[in-house]
Chain A
Amino acid sequence: MGLIADFEKTIGKFKLDIHLATGDDSLSLLGASGCGKSMTLKCIAGIERPDKGRIELNGVTLFDSEKGIDLPPQERRVGYLFQEGALFPNMTILDNVICGIREKLPRREKEKTAREMLAKMHISDTERRRPDSLSGGQQQRAALARILVGKPEILLLDEPFSALDAHLRFELERVVSEAIRDIGKPAIFVSHNRDEAYRITDRIAIMNNGSIEIEGDRHSIFADPQTVYAARMTGCKNLASVDYGQGDGSFVSGSEDKRTVPLSAARVRVPAWGMELEVPNTSKTRSAGMPEGITAIGIRMHDIRLGPAERNQFVCKVEEEIENPFSYTVMLRPAGPTEGTECLGMELDKPTWESARAETITIHIPPENVLLLRE
């Protein structure tokens, strides 16, 4: 059950190549703008037509290029929430919601259903008004009401908060989360905001340049993003390519040699930061070597620790401190045999940095906090 989508679509030089299955779970598609997230939703909804492939929803084939099936969007029963609501400007809010009711019912009953849904969304007072007199948040609630009265088989949420002011976002996010839970159908939530994606769905797929790069449970995606792009999309700011340790003290560039390199303790050299690092002893490195294809590492800014330690300790020069509302971002340049070309960012809460502030500080990076990444 749920959605199964396997399709391809080429637009100019851009190629969309999608393989995804939701099961009964909701899924977030996380990716930079232009990666094909919205196009994917549009293909599922039937607004765009894939070149070839197959889309199936709860056992119903929506699209099958081989069998020549291409259900019109009207018959697909998808609830599509657009970035800016897409309410019909010439109709009242009540009439907009009534448009979403699919059953043939007398007007009076439709009005009743629509009013109940507006009440659920806490916007009953807007029913006689036109969309343009509503705030962005109210418009999105009305748009959601209009979708929910149609009892969709799946919710497609196309960056529904991105046009809203920050203070309205969180509020609407709760409304949308609740709606997903209430209807008990899968949702696909498209976003470029890792926090929203993480909060709204348990599963996350990271999309890059037209295809899904990795997919999985949100905890594992954030703990081990696997690729440089995915690390960046999950908010990892410190990224650099690595040279492998050869075990004899020499190193091979990761981008030159993609073989598994055997060595006793997994160590990498990071030329950009002028560092040599011990990396995690996980399943990836347990076979006494670096896994194939690892070319870079990532270190989240809040994973760098103050103070000395036995492993991965570095003395760093503080290049710059950036004050955030509730924390500091401290830009560090490790002092070592070779000078790095880039700074390493570290995030600390205000009291911690205010008591530790110095021109040169000692830090350590717990090996388990180093993300091993491929391109």
Chain B
Amino acid sequence: MDWYPLLNSLRIAAISSVTVFFLGICAAYYIARIPRFLKGILDVILTLPLVLPPTVVGYLLLRVLGPKRFFGAWFFEVFGVKLTMQWWSAIFATTVVIFPLMYRTARGAFESFDETLEHAGKTLGLSNSFIFWRIRMPYCKQGIIAGIVLSFARALGEYGATSMICGYTPGRTATVSTTVYQLWRTNDDGLAIKWVLVNVAISATVLLAVNMLERRKRTESTAVA
């Protein structure tokens, strides 16, 4: 059994999760601070990929990154590299698809933050970055970790947008999800079921992790009360 699709899926999911960790947290932090009207609009735009069909996301990405499209063509001209049909092209797709998950969980976590702690930190003379990384983030840790884990799991299972933007080339752009589709198409049931089991095992582990995190969060908050 060739493990390339698993390796590829894992690295795509890992890179996009890390990217989304920073982007999602920045967005959640700053959007909480802007006027309500603008916040409402941005909130809708940033959450949209969560409910759009992944094929729509894939289509929109191709409209921008495709070799004959505006950004893709410019990039090819300058760097000589196509943005689609590479293994890493999938990162664009997964990043867009999982962004809302991270953004919304981070926002929920930040909303539960007691702003008095920030005020206290400021009057004590602590820098804003100290307050953010040493007080706010630890306070919201559980929610944010749950967000990353969920995002990672979703990135691992991404199919629609991924297959549109990087297709299926064995040993190059194949991921677990595109491989399962390919094996089903070619009636290779034996191998297909193996990949299905691998996928189920990973996803189950991730969900278990999320549940455990949430349980810990609950017991901690009841300990406080």
Contacts and interface: CB of A to CB of B under 8 A. Distances in A.
Interface stretch (A70-78, A112-120, A189-197, A332-340): A70-78
B26 interface: no
Tier of interface size on chain A: 20 to 34
B186 interface: no
A77 B122 CA distance: 10
Interface string A73-86: 11111111010101
B125 to A, nearest CB: 5
A100 B124 contact: yes
A43 interface: no
Interface in A200-243: none
Given A90-B138, A150-B125, A80 B119 contact: yes
B127 interface: yes
B123 A102 contact: no
Interface in A88-127: 88-90, 99-100, 102
Contacts of B139: 89-90
B121 interface: yes
Interface string B134-145: 110011000000
Contact of A86 (B117, B127, B223): B117
Contacts of A99: 121, 124, 126
Given A132-B223, A132-B224, A73 B122 contact: yes
Contacts of B127: 74
Interface string B78-114: 0000000000000000000000000000000000001
Contacts, number: 61
B120 interface: yes
Interface in A319-339: none
Given A88-B135, A89-B139, A132-B223, A102 B116 contact: no
Interface in B67-87: none
A80 B116 CA distance: 11
A308 B119 CA distance: 59
Q: How large is the interface on B (under 10, 10 to 19, 20 to 34, 35 or more residues)?
A: 10 to 19
B116 A86 contact: yes
B116 A84 contact: yes
Nearest to B223: A132
Nearest to A89: B139
Interface in A9-37: none
B120 A80 contact: yes
A117 to B, nearest CB: 13
Interface of B: 114, 116-117, 119-127, 134-135, 138-139, 223-224
Given A89-B139, A150-B125, 5 more contacts: A73-B119, A74-B123, A80-B120, A86-B116, A132-B223
26 contacts: A45-B123, A47-B119, A47-B122, A73-B122, A73-B123, A74-B127, A78-B123, A80-B119, A80-B120, A80-B123, A82-B119, A82-B120, A84-B116, A86-B114, A86-B117, A86-B119, A87-B120, A88-B121, A88-B134, A89-B117, A89-B139, A90-B134, A99-B126, A102-B125, A147-B124, A150-B124
